[in-house]
């Protein structure tokens, strides 16, 4: 890629996440020869754009980290040569005319509100795009299976599927590759990775962050749309997928798609969303020393939206490997701590020789996502009395990429590798899986429970670590 064009350059995503991500990528020397162009609806001066770049690039330009001398020099040059353009991208012909002035191939990043991105793509023509253009679409990708399909059709008019990058910044390189490395490079794990040996799989993203002034987005999304619909289903698919022949994007993304096509929330034949899903919202409480107000008292929240801040769904992957094994996906805000991991709980042994005492606990494998860790909980013979079973944890750190999540996303875009991008059919499947449950939440079939901020969630919600 020659030019990275950020549409929505004056927005929050660009300032907080995209610019720091792109800066670290360039400073590490992994994205040479890029020109950065910003565009937005506000008429910003060149000086205002330079100030935004200065702030966004500050961390990457500071000493330390994994920046290289060459990368830093490059980043300074990118900053100096970067320009900002005042465009209404929804007006017919405006974006096309602008793109004609930009050196291709171009990566066109839609850091815009979803409805604006959609309109901008509708008014774009294939002939407007420089050869080799890649389109980068932010989440949420549509708001239903039907709207995701319509957006896919619009995009397919413009460029081929492997040139469309639907961003899921949770699908970081370390998350994806660490799970695949563990599963597919260890004979000890993969032969037991199925319904015969595994009792359940939990994928948990609990955080102590609260709304953090994001009501405009979050109060319409809630934990279900923000986390489960995209991020957690994607991670589940990597946990559950069949071994791909190679790490090529086509092999990997086809395996991911096959899992999602087979997945339903709850029992596919007789869904009961009050049994297979739970939702709750935080009330006033304390996290550490921080007093947290009731969610509905936060600025911008409309109690009528009935938004959940904690959600849990039980997904079944209805195929030979995973029949009847629950995949429990859970994510929430304002909880007592950060817990980001997948936990695989094995079934009990078929027979424990008589004579052992103590508790025969299930073997458990924890894959931590940030920090990247691996922990195996197993039973061994206890100290003192060899007839008593005792519990130990075998732990190691897994490797992670020093790039920020958006740096990883952009590296894939700029190097032309869609491995970490969500494929179009998969984006539709994710909505297909969650839509009936979300409809049940909306019609009140699943009660909205509550929990005090700083707690572990509502009473009775337990997971493997509790």
19-27, 46-54, 88-96, 286-294 -> range binding ligand NDP (CB under 6 A): 88-96
Q: Which range binds ligand NDP by CB under 6 A, 2-10, 243-251, 335-343, 382-390? A: 2-10
State the Cα–Cα distance between residues 331 and 311, nearest whole angstrom: 6
Residue count at the site for ligand NDP (CB under 6 A)?
A: 21
CA-only gyration radius of the chain, Å:
24
**Per-residue interface string for the shown chain with ligand NDP, residues 41-60, x marking contact by CB under 6 A:** xx------------------
Query: Can you tell me the distance from the alpha carbon of 457 to that of 282, in angstroms, rounded to the nearest whole number?
Result: 8
- Of the pair 42, 103, the CB lying nearest ligand NDP is at 42
Three-state DSSP state, 177: helix
Look up residue 16 and give its two tokens: 């907080």
Return the residue of 72, 89, 180, 325 that touches ligand NDP, per CB under 6 A: 89
CB 17, min distance to ligand NDP, A: 6
- Position with the least CB separation from ligand NDP: 11
Residues 10-39 binding ligand NDP (CB under 6 A) are 10-13
Helix (H) or strand (E) holding 199: strand 198-206
Smallest separation, CB 77 to ligand NDP (Å): 25
The residue from 169, 231, 351, 366 that is catalytic is 231
**Residue 231 is a catalytic residue:** yes
**Residue 155 in the binding site for ligand NDP (CB under 6 A):** no
Only segment of 71-79, 138-146, 349-357, 444-452 that touches ligand NDP (CB under 6 A)? 138-146
Least Cβ distance, residue 173 to ligand NDP (angstroms): 18
8 lies in the binding site for ligand NDP (CB under 6 A): yes
Contact criterion met (CB below 8 Å) for 260 and 228: no
Question: Is the link from the previous residue into 385 a cis peptide, with omega within 30 of 0?
Answer: no
In the stretch 107-136, what mask flags binding to ligand NDP with x, by CB under 6 A? ----xxxx-x--------------------
Between residues 343 and 434, which has the closer beta carbon with respect to ligand NDP? 434
Element (H, E) at 12: helix 12-13
Cβ atoms of 27 and 65 closer than 8 Å: yes
In this chain, which stretch among 24-32, 83-91, 149-157, 444-452 interacts with ligand NDP, using CB under 6 A? 83-91
Stretch of residues binding ligand NDP (CB under 6 A), selected from 40-48, 327-335, 369-377, 381-389:
40-48
By CB under 6 A, tell whether 207 contacts ligand NDP. Answer: no
Contact 251, 420 (CB under 8 A): no
Q: Segment 417-456, which members bind ligand NDP (CB under 6 A)?
A: none
User: With DSSP H G I counted as helix, E B as strand and the rest as coil, what are the percentages for the chain, rounded to 5?
Assistant: 40, 25, 40
Please say whether the beta carbons of 177 and 238 come within 8 A: no
What's the min distance (Å) between Cβ of 425 and ligand NDP?
A: 21
Instruction: Specify whether the CB–CB gap between 339 and 466 falls below 8 A.
Output: no
Q: How far apart, in whole angstroms, are the C-alpha atoms of residue 32 and residue 414?
A: 10
- Note whether 276 and 267 are within 8 A (CB): yes
Strand residue runs (E) in 111-150: 134-137
Residues with Cβ within 8 Å of 305's Cβ and at least 6 positions away in sequence, in order, are 219, 220, 222
Active site residues: 231
> For binding to ligand NDP (CB under 6 A), which residues are involved?
7-8, 10-13, 40-42, 87-90, 111-114, 116, 138-140
């Amino acid at each position: 890629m020659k030019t990275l064009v950020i549409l929505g350059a004056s927005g929050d995503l660009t300032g907080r996440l995209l610019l720091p991500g792109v800066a670290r990528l360039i400073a590490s020397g992994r994205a040479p020869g890029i020109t950065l162009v910003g565009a937005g609806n506000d008429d910003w001066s060149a000086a205002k754009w330079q100030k935004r770049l200065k702030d966004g690039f500050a961390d990457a330009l500071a000493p330390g980290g994994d920046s290289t001398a060459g990368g830093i020099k490059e980043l300074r040059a990118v900053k100096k040569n970067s320009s900002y353009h005042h465009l209404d991208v929804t007006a017919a012909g405006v974006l096309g005319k602008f793109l004609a002035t930009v050196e291709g191939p171009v990566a066109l990043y839609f850091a815009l509100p979803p409805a604006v991105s959609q309109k901008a793509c509708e008014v774009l023509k294939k002939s407007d795009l420089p050869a080799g253009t890649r389109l980068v679409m932010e989440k949420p990708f549509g708001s239903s299976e039907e709207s995701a399909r319509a957006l896919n059709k619009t995009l397919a008019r413009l460029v081929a599927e492997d040139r469309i990058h639907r961003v899921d910044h949770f699908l970081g390189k370390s998350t994806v590759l660490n799970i695949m490395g563990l599963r597919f490079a260890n004979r000890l794990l993969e032969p037991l990775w199925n319904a015969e040996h595994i009792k359940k799989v939990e994928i948990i993203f609990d955080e102590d962050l609260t709304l953090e002034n994001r009501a405009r987005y979050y109060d319409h999304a809630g934990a279900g749309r923000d986390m489960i619909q995209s991020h957690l289903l994607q991670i589940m698919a990597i946990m559950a997928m069949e071994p791909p022949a190679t790490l090529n994007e086509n092999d990997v993304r086809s395996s991911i798609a096959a899992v999602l096509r087979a997945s339903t929330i709850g029992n596919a034949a007789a869904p009961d969303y009050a049994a297979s899903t739970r939702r709750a919202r935080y009330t006033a409480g304390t996290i550490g020393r921080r007093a947290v107000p009731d969610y509905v008292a936060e600025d911008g929240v409309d109690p009528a939206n009935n938004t959940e801040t904690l959600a849990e769904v039980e997904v079944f992957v209805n195929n030979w490997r995973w029949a009847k094994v629950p995949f429990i996906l859970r994510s929430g805000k304002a909880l007592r701590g950060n817990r980001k991991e997948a936990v695989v709980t094995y079934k009990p042994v078929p027979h424990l020789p008589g004579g052992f005492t103590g508790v025969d606990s299930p073997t458990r494998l924890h894959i931590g996502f940030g920090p990247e860790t691996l922990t195996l909980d197993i039973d061994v013979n206890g100290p003192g009395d060899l007839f008593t079973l005792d519990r130990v944890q075998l732990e190691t750190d897994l490797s992670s990429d020093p790039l920020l999540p958006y740096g990883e996303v952009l590296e894939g875009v700029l190097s032309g590798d869609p491995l970490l991008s969500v494929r179009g059919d998969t984006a539709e499947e994710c909505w297909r899986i969650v839509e009936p449950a979300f409809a049940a939440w909306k019609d009140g079939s699943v009660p909205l429970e509550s929990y005090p901020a700083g707690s572990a969630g509502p009473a009775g919600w337990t997971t493997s670590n509790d």
